[in-house]
Structure 1
Amino acid sequence: MMRISIYTLAVSALLSSCWSGETSSFAMVKNNDELKAMVVKDQAMRSSAKDVDLEATDKVHRDRVFELLAAGRIQTNEDKLNAALILQHMALIYCNDKLKSVSPENYLLAYQLSKSAFEAGDERAAYFVATTYDRYLLYTQGYQKYGTQRIFDEQTGAEMLAPIDSGTTDAERRMYSVPAFDSLLRQYTMQPFKPQGS
């Protein structure tokens, strides 16, 4: 219940900052240095050769992002992308032989933050819009829309594309800097789609 309340506050803060109409004040808002520092630590942990407990630090970072959102301290496009990067690092668990996210709503919030930055003209956000939405779909529905997510085949150990929605056009992919469908299939094989529950 506490997580839902914090999530609701965070979304409300994001929407009010996006739709306030005070665009002139955003030009003078400084990027959030605390978020930048969290991203630097996040990336350093992931590139380290040391055995690091990622989830312990990731959880601290995610909780802090929610606090910053609720306080209205995530305002610039860079802030939104930094927050989205942190939010999409979630613990995964097996449930009925399927890999699931502990909190898939964080991917959806990361998607909203990325999309807000993209719609404000930040081209750096394009691929992240597709990535965060694909990740949300993958861990809730078992497929992706654009083709940014790869998984490991349990039988062969080979990396392959998670199932991709056949209704997504290459024009939609291009909008978010994702390669065309045929190009994706030249790089990786795609896992067949299995509906949820099967």
Structure 2
Amino acid sequence: MPRVLPLLTVFLTLSTALAGGGEAPTVTLNNPNCHPVVGTVTFRTATDPAASRRLAQLFAQDQADRAAQPIDWSKVAPADQARRAEALRLLNAGRLSQSEDFYHAAFLFQHGDCPQHYELANLLAQQAMSRGSPSAGWLYAATYDRWMLSLGRPQKYGTQFVTEPEGCGVKLAPYDPATTDAERTRYGAPTLAVALRQADKLSALCQARQQAP
């Protein structure tokens, strides 16, 4: 299990390095069970329109694969892995720097297969926020929640749901009751009451689909 640095410390370190125009912030995330293995990545500031366009295409593919229901995971899972690998190559080559680049890459790694992918997704969402993305707040909260759950810890913001093994029961994944609604809404996450109602709606929708002729 990786050593978890205080999130605020990581965010301030990366943001300070970026704003100061000094050495580019770097993070190392090693886990041989990740596909791909992350290793050391550096968040740079160079502009590469071709890389931005390519990452936008990868993001669109990711979303399209999840629009079709039911999802064929035998096809989507390897496609996800390939998209993550390509995004990581672009990141390591120093070709990603725009807020939307990091937003798109964070989405790809949010669909990862290990805690280090979710941690990287959270750091990418932080970079998107620090570079002016107006919609990265919710992604920051969601990637943090997914990261914590992957470590066996409760989520903080209440963005993640789980389905019961049998039937259509959907509920909010274990969450930290100390988190306030003010903390949640600061990043665009719903209040706890809204999230709990959403779980009920998802359960009802699943049941309606099962009962349909």
**What TM-score does the superposition give when structure 2 sets the normalisation length?**
0.69
DSSP-derived class of the 2:151 partner? helix
> What's the CA shift for 1:46?
1.6
CA distance in 1 between partners of 2:62 and 2:132 (Å): 26
Indicate the residue corresponding to 1:86 in structure 2: 108
Indicate the residue corresponding to 2:172 in structure 1: 161
DSSP-derived class of the 2:154 partner? coil
Please tell me whether the aligned partners of residues 162 and 171 of structure 2 are also in contact (alpha carbons under 8 angstroms). yes
Are residues 2 and 178 of structure 1, via their aligned partners in 2, closer, same or farther at CA, if it must alter by over 3 Å? closer
Indicate the residue corresponding to 1:114 in structure 2: 125
CA distance in 2 between partners of 1:148 and 1:57 (Å): 24
> What's the CA shift for 1:156?
4.5
- Taking the TM superposition and a 5 Å limit, the aligned residue runs for 1:63-82 are 63-82=85-104
State the number of aligned residues.
166
Root-mean-square deviation (Å): 2.5
> What's the CA shift for 1:153?
1.8
Indicate the residue corresponding to 1:93 in structure 2: none
The match for 1:61 among 80, 83, 95 is 83
Please tell me whether the aligned partners of residues 106 and 120 of structure 2 are also in contact (alpha carbons under 8 angstroms). yes
Indicate the residue corresponding to 1:149 in structure 2: 160
DSSP-derived class of the 2:62 partner? helix
CA distance in 1 between partners of 2:31 and 2:162 (Å): 32
**What TM-score does the superposition give when structure 1 sets the normalisation length?**
0.74
CA distance in 2 between partners of 1:2 and 1:135 (Å): 17
Indicate the residue corresponding to 1:40 in structure 2: 60
Please tell me whether the aligned partners of residues 35 and 82 of structure 1 are also in contact (alpha carbons under 8 angstroms). yes
Superimposed CA distance per residue, residues 34-90 of structure 1 (whole angstroms, 9 cap, x where no aligned partner): 101111111122223574611111111111111111111111000001111111112
Amino acid at match of 1:79: D
> What's the CA shift for 1:182?
2.7
CA distance in 2 between partners of 1:186 and 1:89 (Å): 24
Q: Runs of at least 4 residues of structure 1 off by over 2 A?
A: 1-9, 48-52, 154-157, 182-189
Indicate the residue corresponding to 2:205 in structure 1: none
Amino acid at match of 1:157: C
Amino acid at match of 2:125: S
CA distance in 2 between partners of 1:74 and 1:165 (Å): 34
Amino acid at match of 1:7: V
DSSP-derived class of the 2:66 partner? helix
Amino-acid identity (%) = 33
DSSP-derived class of the 2:97 partner? coil
Superimposed CA distance per residue, residues 139-178 of structure 1 (whole angstroms, 9 cap, x where no aligned partner): 2124211000000122453111001111212111111111
